[in-house]
Amino acid sequence: MEWYEVGLSLMGLLVLLIFIGLPIPFAMAAASLPFLLSIQGFSTSLVSTELKLWGVWIDYILLSVPLFVFLGELIGRSRIGPDLYRFMHGGIRVRGSAAYGSIGACAGFGAVCGSSMVGSLTIGGVALPEMIKLGYDRRLSSGVLAAGGTLSVLLPPSLILLFYGIVTDQSIGQLFIAGIIPGLLLASLFVLVVVIWARLNPAHIPQAEKGPKWSARDIALTIGPVLLIGAIITVSIYAGIATPTEAAGVAALATLVLAFWVGGLTKAAFVDSLMATMRTMGYLGLLLSAGVLFGFVMNYYQIPQQFTSFFLSFDLSPYFVLALVIVFYIVLGMFLEPVSMTFITLPTIYPLIAASGFDLIWFGVVYTITMEIAVLTPPVGLNLFVIQAIGRDHVTIGDVIKGSLPFIFTMLILLAALIAYPQLAIWLPDLMS
């Protein structure tokens, strides 16, 4: 069979299996098996499949994934995350402090947790009821929290950047560094959206709340754990002291101690964190394993290489190719969640980007921002449904979508800025190296 016949058949079978309701990891594996059997035969395929799956589960780099997930679960089930929001809201007395505090808390949470959904769930669970009670507009409240959760995907450690680095064989440390400046810029743009919203609709944001002043001890106990965990991850990786996996291990241990010591973590919540981590890794592990089989079939038939050669034969402008890829991912994000997209499509797309002359570290940041947009676009926008579920008695899914639109627009602005000025992403990694 020709490469394009295999490619179309593989993707067609995958889409069919997903459409009939098969979970994505099983759909990827099932779509791969007919082609794997035609390559190697039944007995050889069975052995090679076992070896490839075992290789995924013992991969040293992938060990950081459950550690980062566990770290986020500990913070989410202790007071560390909620207390950070309460300080950003109550400790800073300006009009709109709850909205600005939500962005700041999501950014701070993003520095210690790599999951967008966990970020929205943790901060949103505390902030959304509080903002509605204070009189904030429902669309603004839900939009700022749905979008704020995406900062966890861009600011290190980021699970999407981690998976991107694994698929494309790029430095995880450099990818994490590259996300810092764009992540801070995006948080600043989100603040600007709230400022403009307040100017255009003054009634949507109440006056500043007056409450008791925070003592220096309370501030230290609130901000200190987040700063310490973030410093362990960033400094150890960027200074070359530890690998991402080692940094994740030390950070997870530090988070466990802090969660019990200052975060009020109970034994029951600790067990819940372990169980939630295992459930998450059960899905991610199956997805990673299925992705290995899927990638093996594609590489055997040289689908990524042939697709790149075919596309480049049209002699298109590199920026036109980039625009097509970004539009493709934004549209695909309406139907698939980011992790699945990464393992299904990225092995074919990234060789095309590299052949077009773009830096793969830079594209990692661009790719991650498109994934942020994906979690805010219906009908499968994960953050939209997380926030709507939190505020289901007060907020409709329409409110969340409308509230997210201005923030999606700022992400598109950041994408344009990164394309016009690539140094926004690659200056810091170049400086550190």
In the chain, domain spans: 3-432
Q: Which residue has the higher pLDDT, 413 or 220?
A: 413
Burial (CB count within 10 angstroms: exposed 0-12, middle 13-18, buried 19+), residue 48:
middle
Q: Is residue 415 pLDDT above 90, yes or no?
A: yes
Q: Which of 17-26, 88-97, 156-165 has the lowest mean pLDDT?
A: 88-97
Model confidence at 211, pLDDT cuts 50, 70, 90, reads low
Q: Is residue 347 pLDDT above 70, yes or no?
A: yes
Q: Do 154 and 110 touch, CB atoms closer than 8 A?
A: yes
Mean pLDDT score across all residues of the chain: 84
Spell out the alpha helix ranges (H) of 111-149.
116-134, 138-148
**Could you identify the residue written with the tokens 């074919």?**
348
Burial 188-219 (b: 16+ CB within 10 A, else e): ebbbebbeebbeeeeebbbeeeeeeebeeeee
**Could you identify the residue written with the tokens 């830079």?**
362
- Give the per-residue pLDDT at 291: 81
Q: Residue 68: which of 116, 22, 4, 5 has the closest Cα?
A: 116
Tell me how crowded residue 79 is: count the other CB atoms within 10 A of its CB: 18
- What is the 8-class DSSP label of residue 31? H
The CA distance from 144 to 106, in Å, is 10
- Give the per-residue pLDDT at 208: 66
- Give the per-residue pLDDT at 182: 94
- Give the per-residue pLDDT at 92: 63
Model confidence at 358, pLDDT cuts 50, 70, 90, reads very high
- Give the per-residue pLDDT at 91: 60
- In this prediction the pTM is 0.84
- Give the per-residue pLDDT at 190: 93
- Give the per-residue pLDDT at 433: 67
Q: What are 43-72's pLDDT values in tens digits?
A: 777 777 777 777 767 777 778 888 888 888
- Select the highest-mean-pLDDT range: 34-48, 200-214, 404-418: 404-418
Tokens, residue 323: 């625009």
Model confidence at 114, pLDDT cuts 50, 70, 90, reads low
155-161 mean pLDDT? 82
Q: Is residue 238 pLDDT above 90, yes or no?
A: no
